[in-house]
Amino acid sequence: MDRYTAAIPNRRKPNPAQRRRELCDAAIQLLADDGAKGLSHLKVDAKAGVPDGTTSFYFRTRSALLRAVAERVAELDLASLQSVADSAGLDAESSASTLAKLVIQSGEEPQLSRTKARYELTMQATRDPAVAATLQRATDAFTKLHHDIVVQLLPQGAKLPPAVVDDLSNVTLTFINGLLLRFAHGDRIIASPEQLDGVLSAIAAGILSSERRGRLTHDGAPQPRRRRA
């Protein structure tokens, strides 16, 4: 990593965009290691190995830093999922889907740190509208990509009714999010991509055999009865 050294007169200044990425990556690791309480501008400086004041120069406030970190996490997450979509969800050299491999890798370092940081940011978003907006945009894009991957992975997926695909996408994504949360807590309930593929296939089979397929996660889904006053 480039460091500013006053003794070197013609040293090239760091690229601002690259420096921001480096600082955000350091902040991601801090969030994973120490939680939101362990995040400060000076701690990011130390983690990134840059002079004190560097982080505050690029991100004036804590909110600006958190928003930038959320954008960086979203950028990395979406790039990873896009690679799955580009591969049609399949790996010619493996029996497991690339989606399952990505999810399992998210429970192992170095990706596990990003998984932990993501949940820390989710909690911060409840108190910071800017962070919440950033994460919501990422969630919308993530959901669309996952939907496309589900269509690719399912036999005859492109021929299924859109509402059924929506159910399959929504339920499997909800399951994956819950699994990632367990990974963040250190619970390796599912240990291999092949095992995860088996679980996701069972979920899909259950949905496809349900009489309510296409209405499980839509407005037509049954609502709990309200007690009369």
And the tokens for 19? 């420096």
CA atoms within 13 A on the CB side of 178: 9
The pLDDT tens digits for 41-50 are 999 999 999 9
The pLDDT tens digits for 103-140 are 999 999 999 999 999 999 999 999 999 999 999 999 99
What single DSSP character describes residue 157?
A: G
Domains and CATH numbers, the chain: 63-209 (1.10.357.10)
CA atoms within 13 A on the CB side of 40: 7
Q: What is the mean pLDDT of the chain?
A: 88
Q: Please count the other Cβ atoms lying within 10 Å of the Cβ belonging to residue 218.
A: 12
The pLDDT tens digits for 178-208 are 999 999 999 999 999 999 999 999 999 999 9
Cα–Cα dist 66/40, whole Å = 10
Q: Note the pTM of the prediction, 2 decimals.
A: 0.83
